[in-house]
Amino acid sequence: AETKRWWKESVVYQIYPRSFNDSNGDGIGDIPGITEKLDYLKTLGIDVIWLSPVYKSPNDDNGYDISDYKDIMDEFGTMADWETMLAEAHKRGLKVIMDLVVNHSSDEHAWFLESRQAKDNPYRDYYIWRPGKEDGSEPNNWESAFSGSAWEYDEKTGEYYLHLFSKKQPDLNWENPTVRSEVHDMMKWWLDKGVDGFRMDVINFISKEPGLPDAPNPHGKKYVPGGDYFMNGPRIHEFLHEMYNEVLRHYDVMTVGEMPGVDEKEAIKYTDEAREELNMVFQFEHVDLDSGPEGKWDIRPLKLEALRENLVKWQKALEHNGWNSLYWNNHDQPRVVSRFGNDRDYHYQSATMLATLLHMMKGTPYIYQGEEFGMTNVAFTDIADYNDIETLNMYHEKRAEGVPHDELMAKIHIKGRDNARTPVQWDDSRHAGFTSGEPWLKVNPNYPEVNAEAALNDPKSIFYYYQKLIELRHSNETVVYGSFDLLIEDDPEVFAYKRELGDEMLLVYCNFYNGEPDVTLPKEVRGRERELFLANREDAPTDLDTFTLRPYEAVVYRIR
Ligand code: TEU
Ligand code: CA
């Protein structure tokens, strides 16, 4: 049987502090603003808060560019504010995990300021410096995740440094043991302050293929993705096991590694407890299914078949020795009710169906702020209303190539990261109650209808459905530890699976679209009595072996 762990029984709630709640009217969410909302989170019922970065940062990438790992960003408050927040969370039985961003730092970090001074500076090897090719061009052809080359030339010493993300996010050199021990010390420093774990930013990028070779470039592009040479690289498992031994082994904490480009075979290595690396990973396959070969802006429709095949693959691959994370949303992804649901005609129905589909699977569910009451994508028409560096860089690069404004805005409306980053809509007052000043990013104009207060006042809201899902996970072991098996292999509209533990069985039926498909119960339970465990519509039948699912209906039966 399964080893019981608190982090397997938990539901995590992600806070993107800049957009969460502004306590002092400067238009920027902050730490005291989080403390104010802890009771709200307690009402929702979550167990763990994942805080996106709150460290000192020049905010080139909203805190994912850290200039001091042991200090708090001025805009977010002080270390004392942070300590109060942690104490207040702990008082309520909420754990807090921090974002650990150590694939790269800010170019304004003291280490980098030193590193760029001279080739023989003691900090030189903290980062990845290389001379240009013979013709002076970049050391290789890798493309940055935020457009352009992944290399930046630095006049001072006449060499290039590697930045897989923005040029203000130089990659740390994990080959250097001093860098590794600096990171370990910093992690212990936070753990000793009482944090309950880490979400590790692009942690599977830290080991680069020695030699940093050019990536194949059949179409003769200027720069190409170099992921094959840094995703899940040669020393990654060694580095993570070392981190476990040096740091994590000594604390009762949870870890989740964010891992673009991880497949289930690698994931089992990262999460197999016996290997002592991480508890879980964030994989990206299911959120890449609506992208084509050209990457995230190459947008395709999602098919349930593809999603089901993928999710089932992950459920089965990690079912014995690993553990899955379950998520639809985060601060980089569009809002799920707009993306895979129908935010116009079936807002409640599709949001709750998607929630059911996710939360009834095996793994630790993650909720992203605002998801719990159905926040949606946004569509600003002016590029000046956008802030995200990925979006802006893409827009300007493509505009320069002659792609029309409207075509780019259409993509941004579907996939842009600011869909997730508009301020949390707390109520129907000015700026949705997020701030008494001017918000750093505009509020989604649908806040008069979609907001937390309205949800709290409506017993039939998405909020209370999430609350129920969390309650069921806390009160029912099958939801946490039960086996997972598909019930219907190939229905183009219905995702149906069962969870089983001992004598108990949960049957989950989700109608993914707005049709009205019929489903039939599996042979083993036909004619047997069943009770309603959860449903997002009234009057789901409990006595029929074959029944019709209504648009976006989700229903879970319990059989004992
Ligand atoms: O994101 C990792 C990552 O690979 C991103 O490129 C992500 O896939 C992209 O945003 C999708 O559009 C992490 C953080 O979550 C992200 O916010 C940071 O910008 C990035 O790392 C760099 O730290
Ligand atoms: Ca503020």
- pLDDT of 137 reads 97
| Cα 284 to ligand 1 centre (Å) | 11
DSSP conformational letter for 130: E
Coil, strand, or helix at residue 533?
Answer: strand
Atom of ligand 1 nearest to the CA of 389: 19
287 ligand 1 Cβ < 6 A: no
What is the average per-residue pLDDT within 75-94?
98
Q: Where are the beta strands (DSSP E) in 148-211?
A: 151-154, 159-162, 197-200
- What pLDDT digit, counting tens, does each position of 343-378 carry? 999 999 999 999 999 999 999 999 999 999 999 999
Active-site residue (options: 171, 201, 491, 553): 201
60 ligand 1 Cβ < 6 A: no
61 ligand 1 Cβ < 6 A: yes
- pLDDT of 363 reads 98
- What pLDDT digit, counting tens, does each position of 155-194 carry? 999 999 999 999 999 999 999 999 999 999 999 999 999 9
Bridge-partner residues for 171, per DSSP? Answer: 104
Atom of ligand 1 nearest to the CA of 166: 22
Atom of ligand 1 nearest to the CA of 103: 23
258 catalytic? Reply is yes
Ligand 1 atom 10: the closest Cα is on which residue?
332
Ligand 1 atom 6: the closest Cα is on which residue?
145
47 ligand 1 Cβ < 6 A: no
DSSP result, 345-370: T-HHHHHHHHHHHHHTSSSEEEEETT
CA distance 530 to 507: 10
CA distance 295 to 550: 34
- pLDDT of 528 reads 83
CA distance 467 to 460: 11
Ligand 1 atom 17: the closest Cα is on which residue?
332
| Cα 121 to ligand 1 centre (Å) | 30
Ligand lying nearest the CA atom of residue 412: 1
pLDDT averaged over the chain?
98
Backbone φ and ψ of 238, nearest 5°: -60, -45
Active-site residue (options: 22, 258, 371, 390): 258
Give, in order, the Cα–Cα distances in Å from 554 to each of 200, 501, 540.
33, 21, 9
DSSP conformational letter for 26: S
Half-sphere exposure of 483 (CA within 13 A, CB side): 11
> Which residues lie below 8 Å from residue 213, measured CB to CB, with a gap of 6+?
140, 229
Percentage of the chain beyond pLDDT 70 is 100
- pLDDT of 529 reads 80
Ligand 1 atom 1: the closest Cα is on which residue?
202
CA distance 235 to 140: 21
Give, in order, the Cα–Cα distances in Å from 354 to each of 59, 107, 211, 359, 465.
33, 40, 44, 9, 11
Bridge-partner residues for 152, per DSSP? Answer: 161
Residue 120: how many other CB atoms lie within 10 Å: 7
Question: For residue 213, what are its two tokens?
Answer: 């070779």
Ligand 1 atom 8: the closest Cα is on which residue?
260
Percentage of the chain beyond pLDDT 90 is 99
Q: How confident is the model at residue 2 (pLDDT cuts 50, 70, 90)?
A: confident
- What pLDDT digit, counting tens, does each position of 102-140 carry? 999 999 999 999 999 999 999 999 999 999 999 999 999
| Cα 26 to ligand 2 centre (Å) | 5
Residue 508: which of 519, 522, 492, 497 has the closest Cα?
497
Dihedral sign computed on CA atoms, order 246, 247, 253, 257: negative
385 with 394: CB under 8 angstroms? no
417 ligand 1 Cβ < 6 A: yes
**Strand 483-486, strand 364-368: pairing:** unpaired
Give me the domains of the chain, ranges plus CATH numbers: 7-108+172-467 (3.20.20.80), 110-162 (3.90.400.10), 479-559 (2.60.40.1180)
* Interface ipTM above 0.85: yes
538 catalytic? Reply is no
Q: How confident is the model at residue 546 (pLDDT cuts 50, 70, 90)?
A: very high
For the question of whether the overall pTM of this predicted structure is more than 0.95, the answer is: yes
Question: For residue 217, what are its two tokens?
Answer: 């470039």
101 ligand 1 Cβ < 6 A: yes
DSSP result, 285-302: GGGSTTEETTEEEEE---
- What pLDDT digit, counting tens, does each position of 203-244 carry? 999 999 999 999 999 999 999 999 999 999 999 999 999 999
pLDDT above 70 (res 1): no
Question: For residue 221, what are its two tokens?
Answer: 């592009």
Adjacency order of strands within the sheet including 129-130? 129-130, 159-162, 151-154
**Strand 494-501, strand 483-486: pairing:** antiparallel
Residue 300: how many other CB atoms lie within 10 Å: 11
CA distance 237 to 218: 31
- What pLDDT digit, counting tens, does each position of 454-484 carry? 999 999 999 999 999 999 999 999 999 999 9
Which H/E stretch holds residue 230?
A: none
By CB atoms closer than 10 A (0-12, 13-18, 19+), residue 232 is: buried
99 ligand 1 Cβ < 6 A: no
Ligand lying nearest the CA atom of residue 420: 1
By CB atoms closer than 10 A (0-12, 13-18, 19+), residue 382 is: exposed
Ligand lying nearest the CA atom of residue 33: 2
**Strand 197-200, strand 95-100: pairing:** parallel
Ligand 1 atom 23: the closest Cα is on which residue?
64
Coil, strand, or helix at residue 485?
Answer: strand
12 ligand 1 Cβ < 6 A: no
**Residue environment code for 480-508, b if the CB has 16+ CB neighbours within 10 A, otherwise e:** bbbbbebbbeebebbbbbbbebeeebbbb
206 with 102: CB under 8 angstroms? yes
145 ligand 1 Cβ < 6 A: yes
